[in-house]
C-alpha cells in the first residue's frame, strides 16, 4: 500500500480533529463532534492496519472498513451542522420565560421558608437562582 495514502489518511484524521476544535462546543453538537473525531481517526488507523494485513482476506476487507469510516465521518459532519443550525434557530417564548421565572421564585421562597431563612435575604437568593438558571439556559439555547 502507498505511503502517500498513509500520509493522506493521517492528514484526514488530523484535519477532522482540528475542524472539531473550531466547532462551538454546545450540548447539541458534542456527540457529533466526538463521532467525527473517532471516525476520521479510524480511517487512518484502519488504513495502516490494512497495510499490515496478516492475510489476503484481511488486506482486502480493511479498505472497505476505511471507506465506511470515511462515509461515517461525512455523516457526522452533516449531523453536527444540522444540530448546530437547529440550536441557532430555537426561539424563546417570552411569556413562558416569565411564567417559569415566577414559578422558580415561588419554589425558592417555599424552600427558604422551611429552614427559617431570613426573609430580608430571600429576594437576593431568588435573584441568584434566576441568574444561575439563565446561565444554564444559555447553554441550551
pTM above 0.75, yes or no: no
* pLDDT band, residue 57 (cuts 50/70/90): confident
Long-range CB pairs of 112-117 (<8 Å, 24+ gap) are: none
Helix/strand/coil for 80: helix
Express each pLDDT in 64-73 by its tens digit: 888 888 888 8
Helix/strand/coil for 2: coil
pLDDT above 90: percentage of residues in the chain: 6
Express each pLDDT in 80-133 by its tens digit: 777 777 666 666 565 667 777 788 788 777 777 777 777 787 788 888 887 777
Cα separation of 104 and 27, whole Å? 23
Segment 41-48 shows an average pLDDT of 90
Taking alpha carbons only, the member of 41, 67, 60, 48 closest to residue 5 is 48
Segment 24-45 shows an average pLDDT of 84
Number of H helices, E strands in the chain: 5, 0
Express each pLDDT in 13-34 by its tens digit: 999 898 888 877 777 778 888 8
23 touches 38 (CB < 8 A) = no
DSSP state of 55: S
Amino acid at each position: 500500500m502507498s505511503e502517500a495514502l498513509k500520509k493522506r489518511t493521517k492528514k484526514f484524521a488530523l484535519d477532522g480533529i482540528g475542524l472539531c476544535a473550531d466547532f462551538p462546543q454546545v450540548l447539541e453538537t458534542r456527540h457529533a463532534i466526538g463521532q467525527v473525531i473517532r471516525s476520521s481517526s479510524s480511517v487512518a488507523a484502519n488504513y495502516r492496519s490494512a497495510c499490515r494485513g496478516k492475510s489476503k482476506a484481511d488486506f482486502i476487507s480493511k479498505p472497505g472498513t476505511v471507506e465506511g469510516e470515511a462515509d461515517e465521518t461525512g455523516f457526522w459532519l452533516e449531523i453536527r451542522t444540522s444540530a448546530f443550525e437547529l440550536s441557532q434557530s430555537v426561539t424563546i417564548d417570552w411569556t413562558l420565560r416569565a411564567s417559569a421565572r415566577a414559578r422558580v421564585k415561588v419554589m425558592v421562597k417555599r424552600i427558604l421558608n422551611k429552614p427559617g431563612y431570613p426573609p430580608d435575604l430571600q429576594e437576593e437568593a431568588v435573584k441568584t437562582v434566576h441568574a444561575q438558571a439563565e446561565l444554564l439556559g444559555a447553554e441550551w439555547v
